[in-house]
Amino acid sequence: MRNNRNGLKSALRRLAIVGVSTVVVAVGGAALAEVVSGTPTPSPSFNGPVYALAHRGDVVYIGGNFTGALVGGKTIARQRLAAYNARTGGLLDWNPGADATVRALAVDGATVYAAGDFDRVAGTARDAVAGLDAVTGKLTPGRHTVLGQPNALAVGNGRLYLAGRITAVDGAPRTNLAAFSLATGALDSWAPTTDDTVNALAVNGNRVYLGGGFHKTNGVSSTLRLTAVDGTTAALDKSFLPKPVSQVFALATDANGVYAALGGQGGRAIAYTFGGAARWTRVFDGDAQAIATLDGTTYVGGHFDKACTTTNNGVKGVCTDGSVPRVKLAAVDGAGNLTAWAPQGNGVVGVRTLAANPANGLLGVGGDFTTLSGSRQKRYAAFGGPSSLEAVPAAPPSPYVASYNFDSTVADGTFDDGSGNGHLLKSLAANGGAVRTVKHAAGQGIAFPSKCGGAACARVVLQATDVPDLNPGARNLRYGANVLLSPAETSTGENIMQKGYSTAGGQYKLQVDGISGKPSCVMSDKTDPAIHVAKGQKSVSDGGWHTLECRRTGTALTILVDGQDGGSATVPATLEVVTPQPLSIGGKGRGVNNDQFHGSLDDVWISIG
């Protein structure tokens, strides 16, 4: 472990801490299946909120809205800026001071950069942005005027990047983003735009990632909440458009991708590929406000108290399918599994910022909490270090290979896979067909086009590209959905979900048969077109929501309606489904006679094995 970290040091001399997140680009290599210790290491506490952290070797720089550091029961004056040695736990003499809140910190070489609400730093006029000597705390010569509130800083590509809610810098118009030359300190021409606040920045190579509450980047529609721009030209990178469902509060990046902490209905931590596809999602009962990665583990902080066991949550973020305590802090492994790491915190706001240092294995945590791991730890804590990593078993993985709760707030015709396996659903439509959202329980479902006859009818299905893990082969299989169908919406046949066809490769399907509205489960073998049907005996077309489930266990195929056995059929023990066809929901395609579903669906899922 130590050798691996020492090898990283030269590649990680520059460590940028961005607003409420750490930005570290790690050298390639396999992720380590370890987390930091759940017991805090020695460090100062503070008498006010901590908003920002930055690392330089073993020194940790701390910014916020405090007026004193708490050491050994004594308060030592520190006006919103402080530093300590993480190896010894001792407070350093570094003490420039600021006259208002410090919201962001970043380090480049021997300079510490601060941004926030202040007008003066070290007793000298500095409007919102200041450079400080990392050893003495003396101001660097550069000075600027900023109209607005800075939220985040990042270093890369010879620039200091600044983000927030900003309208001008040094008299030049800027729309929430700006940059300064690290060599000269002068305002740089780099000036992308967003139509609303930017909360977080992350730099990976020549890409600068932006996170916030905006809906347009550089004036381009549907470039919302999380985007990437060129670090030199500021051009929008259209190959990265993940469109998260709610406001992004923090970002981090490493060799495997980009990580975002989201607010909204509860909170989410999402890992994305560099192409913008979701790798995994974890859901909490409150906003995720901070995120960092260290040795293959992603750490999440916020004002949540529980981590949901699935991606489903409801009103006020309540976990609808169960939860485990994770008070203000949680850790997620490289596959998206929640680990057992849980240094429970307290408070309402909880954790505001996380900062990870791969060079020494330290994780810094700042916010409004006053206890962690059952002991008094006011507003700052550090975990880990070169010898304090410990292996922690992962929580059980998701039981689903695909699951969809349709609670997205982004109306772009796509729906995320809540299992964390990345099977994104995309709309395929004809004649103006589209799904619309409908209220269901504490969240929402989707409604398909109304019943219609003829080739000109509106049609739409949702499809996920075929991948091997959606094919069960001969293994046991379960799949299901919540269904709402009225008597007027039935037809000769309506597909709820389907993968494959009986003619080649086999299939599994859930459908509603005929005008009577009775549901059935269908399977066929990859080499035998004969179909096997387990048909329910009662109609579900009564205008109410019903839970339907299909189960293939050995030679038995069973349909369950509202948890009760509704009918069964026998299938060959050798029956296999191995099909190149996509998973399709709401019909088998967008062509005429597509067995279009006309009711509403929610909570569609598949489990194999």
| pLDDT tens profile 137-162 | 999 999 999 999 999 999 999 999 99
Q: Quick check: is 397 in a domain?
A: no
Are 417 and 547 in a shared domain?
Answer: yes
Residue position matching structure tokens 């967008």? 590
CA-derived radius of gyration, the chain: 27
Count: domains in the chain = 4
Cβ-contact 571, 532 below 8 angstroms: yes
- Residues 99-124 have pLDDT tens digits of 999 999 999 999 999 999 999 999 99
Q: How far is CA 84 from the centre of its chain?
A: 31
Q: How confident is the model at residue 405 (pLDDT cuts 50, 70, 90)?
A: confident
Are 304 and 436 in a shared domain?
Answer: no
Residue 414 amino acid letter: T
Phi and psi angles of residue 201, each rounded to the nearest 5 degrees, phi first: -130, 150
Are 462 and 351 in a shared domain?
Answer: no
Q: How confident is the model at residue 4 (pLDDT cuts 50, 70, 90)?
A: very low
| Domain harbouring 600, CATH code | 2.60.120.200
- Residues 32-87 have pLDDT tens digits of 347 888 889 999 999 999 999 999 999 999 999 999 999 987 889 999 999 999 98
End-to-end CA distance of the chain: 36
The pLDDT, as a whole number, for residue 410 is: 53
For range 431-447, the mean pLDDT: 89
Q: Which two tokens stand for residue 81?
A: 């800026």
Residue position matching structure tokens 């389907």? 498
Are 478 and 553 in a shared domain?
Answer: yes
Checking if the pLDDT of 389 tops 60, the result is no
Helices H, strands E: what count in the chain?
A: 1, 52
Where is the domain boundary, 119, 143, 167?
Answer: 143
Are 361 and 286 in a shared domain?
Answer: yes
Checking if the pLDDT of 393 tops 70, the result is no
Q: Quick check: is 561 in a domain?
A: yes
Checking if the pLDDT of 304 tops 90, the result is yes
The pLDDT, as a whole number, for residue 2 is: 28
Cβ-contact 588, 541 below 8 angstroms: no
The Cβ of residue 252 has, within 10 Å, a number of other Cβ atoms equal to 32
* Structural domain of 521: 402-608
Where is the domain boundary, 83, 113, 143?
Answer: 143
Q: Quick check: is 598 in a domain?
A: yes
Cβ-contact 129, 114 below 8 angstroms: yes
Are 490 and 579 in a shared domain?
Answer: yes
Residues 107 and 270: their CA atoms lie apart, in Å, by 26
Q: Quick check: is 588 in a domain?
A: yes
For range 345-357, the mean pLDDT: 94
Q: Quick check: is 395 in a domain?
A: no
Are 439 and 496 in a shared domain?
Answer: yes
Are 338 and 412 in a shared domain?
Answer: no
The 3-state DSSP class for residue 487 equals helix
The pLDDT, as a whole number, for residue 466 is: 79
Q: Which two tokens stand for residue 365?
A: 């945590």
Cβ-contact 267, 248 below 8 angstroms: no
The pLDDT, as a whole number, for residue 20 is: 35
Residues 132 and 108: their CA atoms lie apart, in Å, by 10
The pLDDT, as a whole number, for residue 321 is: 83
- SS3 percent helix, strand, coil of the chain, rounded to 5, is 5, 50, 50
Residues 26 and 8: their CA atoms lie apart, in Å, by 8
The torsion angle over the Cα atoms of residues 226, 228, 231 and 237, rounded to 10 degrees, is -160
Closest CA to 364 of 2, 5, 8, 50: 50
Q: Quick check: is 30 in a domain?
A: no
Q: Quick check: is 392 in a domain?
A: no
Are 433 and 545 in a shared domain?
Answer: yes
Are 420 and 528 in a shared domain?
Answer: yes
Give the least confident one: 252-256, 281-285, 414-418, 545-549: 414-418
Give the least confident one: 141-145, 397-401, 445-449, 564-568: 397-401
Checking if the pLDDT of 16 tops 60, the result is no
For range 501-526, the mean pLDDT: 93
SS3 assignment for 84-100: EECCCCCECCCCCCECC
The pLDDT, as a whole number, for residue 595 is: 93
Are 220 and 278 in a shared domain?
Answer: no
- Residues 320-331 have pLDDT tens digits of 888 999 999 999
Checking if the pLDDT of 7 tops 90, the result is no
| Domain harbouring 191, CATH code | 2.40.10.480
Are 164 and 194 in a shared domain?
Answer: yes
> Beta-strand (E) ranges in 117-247?
120-121, 124-125, 129-133, 146-156, 159-169, 172-173, 177-181, 198-204, 207-212, 226-230
The 3-state DSSP class for residue 8 equals helix
Q: Quick check: is 10 in a domain?
A: no
